[in-house]
């Protein structure tokens, strides 16, 4: 017999003429992160607050192991910055930058005690973050044994370092050479290598911030041999392109790794989303103020990599994707929320609206028009990478765990309301 439930509501919200969908999940952000000689400018309070204004109720941040130190050392450092400070909900991926016998022994506890079930690797940024293939395969074996997932920044660090050194020796020092030093092949090669190693070890794999056709072709090949490698792209790779590197030093606003690509790559990524090859649209939010970007005024390799987008992901994806008929409304919900919840082991607590779920809900006006600007955004950064962009669609009322967190551009919850979410193992079937 069908069960019926009857509840008395404390409050009724009028959502007529609005869309109602699950709170957004951005599984790729960097808050208060030590990187390239500075810290990303949004901390847990400002970053998760800005996310909420845009309809993202949960983020997953990256803990970076310091080479020579333990994973627990890094976890404690990140807890020190996040505990009691977040406004929206959050979790962590653990970036393993030094895989050895000691690190190996900590993986099981991360999964089973800490609820950190995904392990990030860097195939670039040699010297601080990059691991080699021997470490990668060792980590994959251990993570598989513990039921977790390995994710990666898939670019060939050695090739990039060679090209950076070459351009610098030729006196080519502007932000344009950041882009020219990371051609498509550097990402395609590493993506294929990662997929092959994941296939060999049998671990669940996920490629972060995938940008281009060459890399997506490797995901397609993996799918053909019946291997599932999840792929995430980021909103900037769908809507911005490499012509922004022709603006002199102003182009530093878009210096990120991998760099923006070509129009043909944007088409490939939209198609990849519709074909189910790209499951997630994140941001890789890693903001730096202009003074920080200027650290690389005379040398592109010293510009802190990253751009601000945590607040705009949902509205940009709706406006550029749904309104312009590139993706359906259902696909929008999948790639902005539900798939991340399933892949990263939070479903059905997060990523859906249903009895027993967290009641993270966005009430969205699909017709409201507004313009992105540094003067109105909530991120702690003194420029906008999307200044003047006209958007159709606005997150109006945002509920987090059943409480109204934002209503008509007013924040109604405080610092400390955001909760750390322990995660389970991934659900493989996204259907
Ligand atoms: O440019 C980027 N992506 N900065 C953040 C670090 C990373 O590689 O994700
Ligand atoms: Zn990266
Ligand atoms: Zn990143």
- Is residue 2 predicted with pLDDT exceeding 70? no
Task: Map out the domains of the chain as residue ranges.
Answer: 19-411
pLDDT band at 1 (very low <50, low <70, confident <90, very high): low
Nearest CA to ligand 1 atom 5: 306
The model's pLDDT over 38-83, given as tens digits with 9 standing for 90+, comes to 999 999 999 999 999 999 999 999 999 999 999 999 999 999 999 9
Mean pLDDT value of segment 209-234: 96
Ligand 3 geometric centre to CA of 257 (Å): 8
Q: How far apart are CA 274 and CA 310, in angstroms?
A: 23
How far apart CA 302 and CA 300 sit, in angstroms, is 5
- The pLDDT value recorded for residue 426 is 76
Ligand 1 atom with the shortest distance to the CA of 40? 5
> 268 burial class (0-12, 13-18, 19+ CB within 10 angstroms)?
buried
CATH, domain range 19-411: 3.20.20.140
Helix pair 213-224, 184-201: axis angle to 10 deg: 20
Sequence-distant (≥ 6) Cβ neighbours of residue 300 within 8 angstroms: 167, 173, 174, 175, 176, 177, 178, 181, 252, 255
* pLDDT, tens digit, 9 for 90 and up, residues 318-351: 999 999 999 999 999 999 999 999 999 999 999 9
Mean pLDDT of the chain: 97
Q: What is the pLDDT of residues 357-377, one digit of tens each?
A: 999 999 999 999 999 999 999
Q: What is the pLDDT of residue 190?
A: 98
Residue 26 CA, ligand 2 centroid: distance in Å: 14
The response to whether residue 259 sits with its C-beta less than 6 Å from ligand 1 reads no
Ligand 1 contact, 286 CB (< 6 A): yes
The predicted-structure confidence for 291-313, as pLDDT tens digits, reads as follows 999 999 999 999 999 999 999 99
Q: Which ligand is nearest to the CA of 259?
A: 1
The answer to whether residue 150 scores a pLDDT higher than 60 is yes
pLDDT on residue 280? 98
Name which residue sits closest to atom 3 of ligand 1, judged by CA: 257
Quote the pLDDT of residue 427: 74
Which ligand has its closest atom nearest to the C-alpha of 236? 1
Centre of ligand 2 to C-alpha 257, Å, is: 6
30 Cβ below 6 A of ligand 1: yes
| Residue 122 confidence (pLDDT) above 60 | yes
Confidence (pLDDT) at 431:
58
Q: Give the count of alpha carbons within 13 A of 363, CB side only.
A: 21
pLDDT at 7 over 80: no
In DSSP terms, 19 is beta-bridged to 364
Residue 8 has pLDDT above 90, yes or no: no
Tell which phi-psi region holds residue 67, choosing left (phi > 0), alpha (psi between -120 and 50) or beta.
Answer: beta
Q: Which ligand is nearest to the CA of 153?
A: 2
Per-residue pLDDT band for 428 (boundaries 50, 70, 90) equals low
Atom from ligand 1 closest to the CA of residue 307: 1
Q: What percent of the chain has pLDDT over 70?
A: 98
In this structure, the residue with its CA closest to atom 4 of ligand 1 is 306
125/97 Cα distance (integer angstroms): 10
Position in ligand 1 atom list of the atom nearest CA 62:
9
Give mean pLDDT, residues 71-100.
98
Q: What is the share, in percent, of the chain residues with pLDDT greater than 90?
A: 96
Confidence of residue 430 (pLDDT cuts 50, 70, 90): low
366-406: pLDDT as tens digits:
999 999 999 999 999 999 999 999 999 999 999 999 999 99
**What is the per-residue pLDDT across 242-263, written as a single tens digit (0 to 9) for each?**
999 999 999 999 999 999 999 9
Does 305 contact ligand 1 (Cβ within 6 A)? yes
What residues are neighbours of ligand 3 (ion), with CB under 5 Å?
Answer: 284
Any alpha helices (H) in 17-131, and if so which ranges?
44-53, 71-82, 101-112
CB 298 within 8 A of CB 275: no
Query: Ligand 1: which residue has its CA nearest to atom 7?
Result: 257
Average the pLDDT over 22-32 and give the result.
98
Q: What pLDDT sits at residue 99?
A: 98
């Amino acid at each position: 017999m069908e069960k019926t439930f009857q509840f008395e509501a404390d409050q009724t919200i009028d959502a007529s003429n609005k869309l109602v969908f699950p709170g957004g999940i951005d599984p790729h952000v960097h808050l208060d992160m030590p990187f390239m000689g500075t810290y990303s400018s949004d901390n847990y309070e400002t970053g998760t607050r800005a996310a909420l204004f845009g309809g993202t109720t949960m983020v997953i941040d990256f803990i970076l192991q310091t080479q020579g130190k333990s994973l627990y050392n890094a976890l404690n450092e990140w807890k020190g910055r996040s505990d009691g400070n977040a406004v929206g909900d959050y979790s962590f991926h653990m970036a393993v930058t030094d895989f050895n016998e000691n690190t190996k022994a900590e993986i099981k506890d991360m999964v089973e005690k800490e609820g950190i079930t995904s392990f990030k690797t860097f195939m670039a940024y040699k010297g601080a973050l990059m691991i080699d293939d021997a470490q990668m395969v060792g980590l994959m074996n251990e993570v598989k044994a513990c039921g977790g997932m390995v994710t990666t920044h898939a670019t060939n660090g050695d090739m990039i370092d060679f090209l950076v050194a070459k351009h610098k020796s030729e006196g080519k020092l502007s932000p344009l050479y950041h882009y020219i030093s990371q051609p498509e092949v550097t990402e395609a090669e590493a993506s294929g290598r990662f997929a092959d190693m994941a296939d060999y070890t049998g671990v669940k794999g996920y490629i972060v911030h995938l940008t281009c056709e060459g890399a997506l072709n490797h995901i397609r090949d993996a799918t053909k041999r019946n291997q599932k490698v999840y792929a995430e792209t980021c909103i900037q790779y769908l809507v911005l392109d490499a012509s922004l590197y022709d603006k002199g030093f102003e182009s530093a606003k878009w210096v990120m790794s991998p760099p923006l690509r070509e129009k043909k790559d944007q088409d490939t990524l939209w198609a990849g989303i519709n074909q189910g090859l790209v499951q997630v649209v994140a941001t890789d939010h890693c903001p730096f103020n202009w003074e920080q970007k200027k650290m690389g005024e005379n040398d592109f390799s010293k510009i802190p990599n990253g751009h601000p987008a945590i607040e705009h992901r949902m509205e940009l994806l709706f406006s550029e994707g749904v309104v312009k008929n590139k993706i359906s409304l259902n696909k929008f919900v999948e790639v902005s929320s539900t798939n991340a919840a399933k892949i990263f082991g939070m479903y059905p607590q997060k990523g859906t609206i249903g009895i027993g779920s967290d009641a993270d809900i966005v009430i969205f006006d699909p017709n409201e028009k507004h313009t992105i600007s540094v003067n109105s955004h909530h991120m702690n950064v003194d420029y906008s990478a999307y200044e003047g962009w006209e958007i159709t669609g606005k997150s109006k009322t945002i509920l987090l765990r059943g409480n109204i967190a934002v209503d008509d551009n007013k924040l109604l919850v405080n610092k400390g309301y955001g909760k750390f979410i322990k995660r389970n193992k991934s659900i493989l079937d996204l259907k």
